[in-house]
Amino acid sequence: MNDSPKKIRALIVDDEPLARRGIRRLLQSAPDIEIVGEAGNGQDAIAAVEKQKPDLVFLDIQMPLLDGFATLEKIGLPNLPEIVFVTAFDEHAIRAFEINALDYLLKPVDAERFEKCLERVRVRMKNSQGEKLDNKISSLLESLERVESGTEKTFLERVVIRDAGRIFFVGADEIIWISSEGNYVKIHTKNKSHLLRETIDGLENKLDPREFLRLRRSTIVRIEQIKELQPLFNGEFAVILKDGTQLASSRRYKQNLSSLLKD
């Protein structure tokens, strides 16, 4: 008869292979944890949770198309395993975690902090005797639902940029315009441009629409930076910014400029 304690079944979810390998490597020193799978996006994570039924998920927050929050919502509260959030230090995310007493890891993940996180997970799982997350996760999901329904809405005040091993912040009020680079966006500021791992649709949803305006599928501009609009044809405009940058709107987003054209 095997009386050895049951291992904690863990799933690693991150769209960066290097980040997944880092978590996997750190878990090698935890003999009581068994890695049952990995997922590189939210949709695959949902399928993996359903199939593997892990006890614990290391969940990245900032993933293109379906981020960590949206992944949680689609999994649904009744099916949620224990969650350890992994983030590149988004101030709003950290605030939400602290309010709801959820655990999280900051990228790049420190080995000592990782071990402390695992100790918290072990204690929580032992105390709950294998039960799913309680009202703390429920509270977070309800908060997210209020955001989605429009009864509660906060906007991004700054973006987190990771570049050559550095992590620094760019305030939303420093952004002049934004261009799409596939699953990345390029943040244009006064003196420099920065790449951010985010889709332009995802970033648009986080920015205050009173301050930022979508010009076309690949372009968002800070309204305060617009100096001049020059009509082109078919409802399109040349958009001249204060620093001399010339952008172009598209017919698809013509209605976004309508408020600027009113007397």
Q: pTM for this one?
A: 0.55
CA distance 89 to 82: 20
Domains along the sequence of the chain with CATH: 8-149 (3.40.50.2300), 158-260 (2.40.50.1020)
Q: Characterize 210-248 residue by residue with b for buried, 16 or more Cβ atoms within 10 angstroms of its Cβ, and e for exposed.
A: eebbbbbeebbbbeebbeeeeeeeeebbebbbeeeeebe
Q: The tokens of 143 are what?
A: 């908060």
What type of residue is 5?
P
What type of residue is 166?
R
Q: How do the pLDDT tens digits run along the chain, 263 residues long? A: 455 678 999 999 999 999 999 999 999 999 999 999 999 999 999 999 999 999 999 999 888 778 887 888 888 767 778 888 888 766 555 555 554 435 778 888 889 989 988 998 888 877 754 444 445 555 555 555 554 455 445 678 888 887 776 777 888 899 999 999 888 899 999 989 999 888 888 888 889 888 999 999 999 999 999 999 988 877 788 999 999 999 999 888 888 887 777 65
CB neighbours of 66 closer than 8 A, spacing ≥ 6?
41, 42, 43, 74
